[in-house]
Structure 1
Amino acid sequence: MLDISALTHGLLLGLAMFVAPGPKDILILRETLVGQSPAKLIAIAVGTDVILIGLGMLGLSALLQQMPGLRLLAQGLGIALLAAHGVQAACAAARHDGPEHALPAPPPDGSGLRRLIVVSLFNPAAWLDTLLVIGTVGATLIPPLRFSFAAGAVTASVIWFSLWVLGARSARRLMGAPHARSIQGRRLLDAGVAIAMIGMALSLALSL
């Protein structure tokens, strides 16, 4: 049976952590604008949050706090990952290929979704918010309350990413004019991803 107090606690803490657009949100925005399935995007966004919250509550957050060297290594790998994806997006933004009057299309090989999964799971900012903060708070609760707390946090993830994807779909409909559908639109999307990824990588590197 759900405990309303613990569920509300998880919901409010989850909203406080999730309602702050970062690299994951920027990638979801881009994939929505290029026509990726909203259901797949929401499922990946929420599913990766469930994994990180679960790992945190099962003790990984405590392990990272007790082993600074391991935490530093994980953060370094995550920063390198963000920087690599940022450079990749910057290169894509610099290219001039593609039809002049077509919105970018989702890659047929699913590379956009795979990139979203990797960034969602290995972004150090996501660890701090989801694994370390939400997971640590949940782990301090008595066992009967942990499920309710986790359910509240996951509900916050569902709410935020559903609203984010719906908002992006509305923006996509506004991009119906030929000038908005030009190759410049694709380059701007990739440039936004590059700025978010590299900016987050630099910010996290300077905070180490």
Structure 2
Amino acid sequence: MIISSLATGFTTGAGLIVCIGSQNAFVLRQGLLRSHVGLVALVCIISDILLIAAGISGLGFMVEQWPTMLQWVRYAGALFLAFNAFQAAKRAFDTHQSLNPSEFIAPSRKKILLTCLAFTWLNPHVYLDTVFMLGSLSLQYTEGTQWEFGAGAMLASVAWFISITYGARLLLPLFKNPNAWRVLDGLVALVMTYLCIGLLVVPLN
């Protein structure tokens, strides 16, 4: 029963976490640049563990009972995404910019920490997925196995963020070409613009 609950939690968590989103785009770029990858992975993992634990603990009702909070996060997240979409588009069209990880001057640890926290906690969908969705799905389990389900989802988060941060170096041969960085930044700009518009246009349920 323990293995079954863990496995279900792992696959469910992976299905919600492993997707193209603003946070994952940021994490992938940091992994490719080898910029504070340990810090980025740790922040994302700890944040997911806290949010999943909140959902399993029954705090998912806050998402339903306090819609005003979610709306504030929604608009703040949209503004943040719009700014980063602009920055990514600017990098994509900068023909004089070439990003070589060995020559890249990484931003300060504090700046990376704050940016990573913003990509995580200013994303209203993270509350819907981890707190509300996983919290709701855990209700089908007994009190003891709820945390086994949650632990599986947490393990999925750990595996994913370690893979995307430290595994990104496998793609470095491809990104020796400056145009590859421009394509990546162009895709990041499109993804963030799409998510920004989605936050502004589609109401959160």
Q: The TM-score by the shorter chain falls in which range? A: 0.7 to 0.9
Q: Deviations over 1:139-183 (max 9, x none)?
A: 56443223212210011112222333344211113334xxx1x3x
Does the 8 A contact of 2:56 with 2:147 survive in 1?
Answer: no
C-alpha displacement at 1:197, in angstroms?
1.5
Shift of 1:200: 0.7
**What TM-score does the superposition give when structure 2 sets the normalisation length?**
0.82
2: distance between equivalents of 1:106 and 1:136? 44
In structure 1, what is the equivalent of residue 100 of structure 2?
A: 102
Aligned counterparts of 1:71 and 1:156: Cα–Cα separation in 2: 25
| Residue ranges of structure 1 left out of the alignment (5+ in a row) | none
1:12 and 1:153 in contact (8 A); partners too? yes
Paired residues of 1:83 and 1:198 also in contact (CA < 8 A): yes
| Residues 187-208 of structure 1: per-residue CA shift (max 9 Å, x gap) | 4443333222121111232211
**Residue 124 (structure 2) aligns with:** 124
Seq. identity, %: 26
State the partner residue of 2:169: 169
The match for 1:205 among 178, 181, 200 is 200
Number of corresponding residues: 201
Residues 175 and 76 (structure 1 numbering): CA distance in 2 closer, same or farther, change over 3 Å?
closer
Decide whether aligned partners of structure 1 residues 128 and 101 sit closer, same or farther in structure 2, where only a CA change above 3 A counts. closer
> Post-superposition, which runs of at least 4 consecutive aligned residues in structure 1 deviate over 4 A?
94-98
Contact 2:63 2:128 in 1 (8 A): no
Instruction: Tell me which residue corresponds to 2:44.
Output: 45
Q: Where do residues 24-173 of structure 1 align in structure 2 (5 Å cutoff)? A: 24-95=23-94, 98=97, 100=98, 102-103=100-101, 105=104, 107-110=106-109, 111-138=111-138, 141-173=141-173
Residue ranges of structure 2 left out of the alignment (5+ in a row): none
The Cα RMSD (Å) is 2.7
Other-structure match for 2:189: 194
Counterpart residue identity of residue 30, structure 1: R
Q: Secondary structure at the match of 1:175?
A: helix
Change over 3 Å in CA distance of 1:187–1:82 after alignment to 2: same
